[in-house]
A = this chain, B = another copy of it.
Amino acid sequence: MARALLPARVLTEPVLIRGTGLLGTSIGLGLRAAGAEVWLADPSPSAQAVAVDIGAGDPFPAVDDGGSVAPDTPQPGTVVVASPPDVTGQVVVDSLRRFPDAVVLDVASVKGAIAAEVQTAVGNGALTAAEAARYVGTHPMAGSERSGPVAARGQLFTAAPWVVCATEETDPAAVAAAEEIARNLGATVHRMSAEDHDASVALISHLPQIAASLVSSRLQETPAASLALAGNGLRDTTRIAASDPQLWVQILAANAPEILEILYGVRDDLDRLINTMEDPSAPGARLDIAQLIAEGNAGHARIPGKHGGPPQAFAVVTVIVDDTPGQISAVLQDVGVAGVNVEDLRMDHSAGYQVGMLEISVLPGRRQELTDALTARGWKVV
């Protein structure tokens, strides 16, 4: 668990985290593990108490909900706003006013709307331009399925992308603080404008969520006998449909214009498919259907592979394992003995059987070697 200490330049003063949900609490845990002093504040005393109890930081000694800055308020060097998306902009503005020397960053998943709220505050005189320059918007792309402080973990951000959206007006100290927090939590920094960020997440995060919800919604009345036939195709396509409605209302509403552009395209494709399917023997109908699937092939092939490298087709070696402790580890121990690296791994379960299929992805050139090695050691390789 050895970590580099955070550079003194950024965190000689305490970090105040406002909002102790999954993200705020996880950031607190991670920063404390890195040696930082962390203060926690949440409008919900119980959420704050849980976060304190699990070691994410100390309670902030002087939250003043009136919004004015009490003269004896302790001053953090950095404020991380991890409030619900709907109130993030307001808490950012409040933090910039309340803590005149602090860098303020937020971690909400839509960035343009919050930057606009900060600019509105400048426009109406609530903030000076110099105050606004201490703000930088960020988005750590981790942890969307579970929620609340109980699910928090300091290494939530390990190997996750952390987008930082600086503008020409942003104080370089704010950018440096954000990037150093991100790096110290193990994330990879991606610099991007708020506009590019919001367009990106509309496509790679919000559209998949909507699609998973639309598909899952159709299952509400399905007979159990039909659902018993479900395989990994349905499971994978709908996994994220289990997400929190209250959180997603805020995300989708905040990024509505970007999402709408994409949904118009989806609706056009869907209308075209429906028209075609209404008369599948009409001239050109089959070409239309094949075109939709082929366009899906083309888009899917652009998703980067492991570690951000180019998409790579791994070879899959499938091994049958019993549902007893130690079986999977025994297989993988033999994979290790064979000296073959596991590039990816998944279990495939089906209804009615007490066995599973362990799908081991390896570099294509190693497939035969691994198959032979596992077969020689008595495994059922299929």
Interface residues, chain A, with chain B CB atoms under 8 Å away = 1, 141-142, 144, 153-156, 158-161, 163, 186, 188, 190, 192, 196, 199-201, 203-205, 207-220, 222-231, 233-246, 248-249, 252-253, 256, 259-260, 262-267, 269-271, 273-274, 277-278, 280-281, 285-286, 289-304, 306-308, 318, 320, 323-326, 328-336, 339-342, 344-347, 349-358, 380, 382
Contact = CB atoms under 8 A, between A and B. Distances in A.
A32 to B, nearest CB: 14
A332 B1 CA distance: 20
25 contacts: A158-B353, A159-B350, A159-B357, A188-B350, A201-B229, A203-B222, A207-B218, A211-B214, A215-B299, A218-B265, A220-B295, A220-B298, A237-B237, A238-B300, A241-B297, A241-B300, A243-B293, A248-B293, A263-B277, A307-B352, A325-B340, A328-B336, A329-B329, A329-B331, A345-B345
Contacts of A273: 210, 263
A128 B263 CA distance: 52
B253 A289 contact: yes
A331 to B, nearest CB: 8
Nearest to A237: B208
Nearest to A205: B233
A306 B349 contact: yes
A83 B233 CA distance: 23
Contacts of A355: 158-159
Contact of A357 (B158, B192, B239, B351): B158
A138 to B, nearest CB: 13
Given A215-B211, A266-B218, A273-B263, A227 B307 contact: no
Nearest to A318: B153
A225 B308 CA distance: 10
Contact of A154 (B186, B281, B382): B382
B153 A192 contact: no
Nearest to A270: B267
B237 A240 contact: yes
A272 to B, nearest CB: 10
Contacts of A335: 325, 328-329
Contacts of A299: 215-220, 222, 238, 241
Contacts of A186: 353
Nearest to A342: B328
A238 B302 CA distance: 11
A111 B206 CA distance: 36
Contacts of A326: 336
Contact of A155 (B161, B207, B274, B382): B382
A246 B290 contact: yes
Contacts of A318: 153
A292 B334 CA distance: 46
A294 B252 CA distance: 14
Point out which of A218, A269, A271, A356 has the most chain B C-beta atoms below 10 A from its C-beta: A218
Contacts of A246: 290
